[in-house]
């Protein structure tokens, strides 16, 4: 894999701000790079796995107004199995295995509090290997991974 440089970081950060920005506009904003060079670098960034170009759904805009973080304690030896099972549900937007008091951290989206409660108690609570859950409703998100910019000090 090719190591990214300042120009790659600038291109990535511009795409984070506007995923539909053209290679010509990126070149224009950078001022010292051609559109062809931007296109080549963008293709390499995608090919080498540094970035993915995707549409990002806003759950709230499409009616999923409740977002909740659920922390799960699993039976010993079942963490991966539980995490993989939970990753299969459409309402689960994030799954990670962690260390500390909880073994698994997930984020769910729901149309209302009752739907979120039902999913946690009736679905997650019945997954084989789940020992305990702790749920927190997320009323405000100030920043998420899709708004993250690579610090220029990385290079």
In order of their start, the domains of the chain are 6-55 (1.10.10.10), 66-137 (3.30.70.920)
Give the CB-side neighbour count of residue 47, counting CA atoms within 13 A: 9
The confidence score (pLDDT) of residue 87 equals: 97
Q: Partners of 15 in the beta sheet?
A: none
The confidence score (pLDDT) of residue 153 equals: 65
Q: Is the dihedral of CA 19, 22, 24, 25 positive or negative?
A: negative
Q: What's the pLDDT tens digit per position in 71-104?
A: 999 999 999 999 999 999 999 999 999 988 899 9
Cα–Cα nearest to 43, from 34, 52, 33, 31: 52
Q: Is the dihedral of CA 1, 15, 11, 27 positive or negative?
A: positive
Q: Is the pTM of this model over 0.85?
A: no
Q: How would residue 154 be classed by pLDDT, with cut points 50, 70 and 90?
A: low
The answer for residues whose C-beta is within 8 angstroms of residue 24's C-beta and 6 or more apart is 35, 38
Q: What's the pLDDT tens digit per position in 102-120?
A: 999 999 999 999 999 999 9
The confidence score (pLDDT) of residue 127 equals: 98
Residue 2 has pLDDT above 80, yes or no: no
Q: How far apart are CA 81 and CA 74, in angstroms?
A: 9
Q: How far apart are CA 71 and CA 132, in angstroms?
A: 8
- β-pairing, 92-97 vs 104-110, is antiparallel
């Amino acid at each position: 894999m090719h190591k990214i440089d300042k120009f790659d970081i600038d291109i990535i950060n511009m795409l984070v701000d506007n995923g539909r920005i053209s290679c010509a506009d990126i070149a224009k904003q950078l001022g010292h790079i051609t559109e062809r060079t931007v296109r080549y670098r963008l293709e390499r960034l995608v090919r080498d796995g540094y970035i993915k170009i995707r549409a990002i759904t806003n759950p709230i805009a499409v009616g999923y107004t409740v977002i909740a973080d659920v922390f799960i304690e699993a039976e010993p030896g079942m963490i991966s199995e539980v995490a993989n099972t939970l990753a299969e549900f459409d309402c689960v937007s994030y799954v990670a295995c962690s260390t500390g008091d909880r073994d698994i951290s997930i984020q769910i989206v729901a149309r209302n509090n009752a739907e979120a409660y039902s999913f946690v108690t009736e679905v997650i609570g019945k997954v084989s290997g789940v020992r305990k859950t702790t749920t927190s409703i997320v009323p405000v998100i100030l920043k998420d991974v899709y708004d993250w910019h690579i610090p220029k000090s990385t290079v």
